[in-house]
Amino acid sequence: SKGLVSWMFSVSVPSTTDSQSFHLGSCPRPSVQEDFNYMGTWYEIEKLPAVFERGKCIQAAYTAVRVRTPNGKINSIEGVAEVKDSSQPAILEVSLVKGVPDSPYWVLSTDYQSYSLVYSCFDYFSLFHFDFAWILARTRALSEDVLGRLHEKLAAAGVNVNHLTVSSNQTGCDVMTRHRKKWEQGA
């Protein structure tokens, strides 16, 4: 059966530009998480640069139902992630904007309690590809020890961890958390 997940990303206004992660050849096919279930809030800790994602306090809230968009000053986008093959539920196709092709969203690894490693890659005629990777956490920070282990996992999956950036300043985000909780309660 196909699984649908609704997303809400809270991001602030973009301030800088970074280049994408470009490589020759086809996309790699890393292994993904077994026995997958991904609900709840995840905070972005590190990522490969992505022109479509800027700001601070970046987070995603995954729920099994569609939700209304919030009123207020928080920039957000809602999308749908669909499991195309129920035997591999950690490989999803994400639709964020109507009329734009779905994006791959592969959960490579998660312990469900503290971290998640996500990978996405776009292959262009097997000549070159652009890839994206994210380290997500259930809290707004991870220890250097945990980050080091996660970098090793990403490198084993073929991700150039030297291009990872601290993607989102997660300090001063209490206002966003209070707004999100108020919004989730239907206020």
121/73: higher pLDDT: 121
Residue 64 pLDDT: 59
**Lowest-pLDDT range of 12-21, 162-171, 176-185:** 12-21
Does residue 154 register a pLDDT over 90? yes
Residue 111 pLDDT: 92
State the chain's maximal CA–CA distance in angstroms: 50
140/177: higher pLDDT: 140
Which tens digit of pLDDT belongs to each residue from 36-94?
Answer: 777 888 888 988 887 777 777 888 887 754 333 444 445 566 778 888 888 998 998 98
The dihedral sign for the CA sequence 103, 54, 16, 27: negative
- For 35, the token pair is 């026995």
pLDDT bin (cut points 50, 70, 90) of residue 167 is: low
Reported pTM: 0.71
Q: For 108-144, give one letter per residue: b (16+ CB within 10 A) or e.
A: bbbeeeebbbbbbbeeeeeeebbbbbbbbbbebebee
CATH class in words for 4-28+37-178 = mainly beta
Per the prediction, the chain carries an average pLDDT of 75
Domain boundaries, the chain: 4-28+37-178
Residue 17 pLDDT: 33
Q: CB-based burial of residue 159 (10 Å sphere; 0-12 exposed, 13-18 middle, 19+ buried)?
A: buried
Which tens digit of pLDDT belongs to each residue from 88-112?
Answer: 989 989 887 778 888 899 999 999 9
23/89: higher pLDDT: 89
